[in-house]
Amino acid sequence: MKKRLLSTLSAICLSASVFGQSDMTQLIKENFDFAAQQYKVLMKNTPADVMPKTYFANNNKLVTSDTKWWCSGFYPGTLWFVYEHTNDEVIKAEAERRLQILEKEKHFTGNHDLGFMMFCSFGNAYRITKNPSYKTTIDTSATSLATRYRPSIKVIQSWNSSKTMSCPVIIDNMMNLELLYWVSANGGDSKYKDIAITHANTTLKNHFRVDNSSYHVLNYDLNTGVVIKKMTDQGAADESAWARGQAWGFYGYTMMYRFSKDKKYLDQAKKIAAFWLKHPNLPADGIPYWDFNAPGIPNTYRDASAAAVFASGLLELGQYVAKKERKKYVSAAEKIIRSLSSDAYRAKLGENGGFLLMHSAGAVPHKSEVDVPLTYADYYFVEALHRYKQWYL
């Protein structure tokens, strides 16, 4: 894979320089048409009572999950984006079927991931269809997520307490604030917005280093609110910059500015973007290594999922800045989209188990989901395509 990426890198960069923005219309259309065909392969491969998770090409094995897995909302969410841009009724019917098995998780309180699970899925379904039952599910999900809020430390607890962790809070949690803020902004109790703001402020205070990179995990003392330890679980080291963690934080603060218009969130998003875009270890095609400080660079894994999240966030950030800055952010996002659309990262029809993108990295230190397709890589890729078409074409 690494040699293949290097061999195709110059072609990707040439393509981005030769073709102007005008061909993005065709590129986006081609990607959505491909996604409709490819996801019908994934649909046929996935049993009716579970969700797709990843695929191992070496033994042609599709790995699935139950609906409590944190990624369970990404497959139906991707289907809704694909339906929105293709009007393919087969895709819509599959999206509706998958929402039926996911709906019961609106009562889940076992971790912080209700935003990923329920807003990426039911949120898109409601946005597109305005079906009031979908909004009811979203509202109930916010109530469930709010049970994770810990007033003593002013954050939402990510994972449950254990013998080694009093109250772990991960940077990923910034993504789940969208569910809470959206519900308050759409007729729900204002307490959800207040929780989102409080969590974002506490995270801003404690989670970031001087260079604006983020720790992955903070362990809080539940009684005092003191940070006991700052560490990683999926990154290369406690002081390293795990790529997807940087993308989660960046996207999260950009989203928080959308709702609140609080300038400190916009400023933080810009700082994280600068850390990423100016980093000497960022490859020329815009797709990061799984950790910006990973051992073995350049001979290590890329993470298409981190790139997709970051690209989608860049396109939103471009909506909130002056023209010169907008050009910088949108150009960087376009480079990522073109790279992910190339043969280096996008699968061929019928291959890759039915997933769109190859070469994502789930948890390299745990040897889990390494250099494989992942549902959230596909989701944020198509969201980036959607946003580019919606805002810049």
Q: Is 303 labeled as ligand-binding?
A: no
**Has 244 been labeled as part of a binding site?**
yes
Q: Three-state SS across 131-162?
A: CHHHHHHHHHHHHHHHCCEECCCCEECCCCCC
Residues in contact with 25: Cβ distance below 8 Å, sequence separation at least 6, in sequence order:
389, 393
Supply 254's token pair.
């950009």
Structure tokens at 112: 């912080």
Angle at 113 between CA 107 and CA 119, to 5 degrees: 75
The amino acid sitting at 321 is: V
Catalytic choice (33, 49, 66, 172): 172
Q: 140 labelled as ligand-binding?
A: no
The Cβ-side half-sphere exposure at 2, using a 13 Å CA radius, reads: 8
Asked whether the beta carbons of 38 and 349 are under 8 A apart, the reply is yes
Q: Is 172 a catalytic site residue?
A: yes
- 285 annotated to bind ligand: no
Task: Tell me if 232 is assigned to a ligand binding site.
Answer: yes
Q: Please check whether residue 389 is in contact with residue 28, taking contact to mean a CB–CB distance below 8 angstroms.
A: yes
CA-nearest of 215, 192, 195 to 205 is 215
The one catalytic residue in 23, 33, 49, 113 is 113
The catalytic residues are 113, 172
Which residues are part of a known binding site for substrate?
A: 113, 172, 232, 244, 248
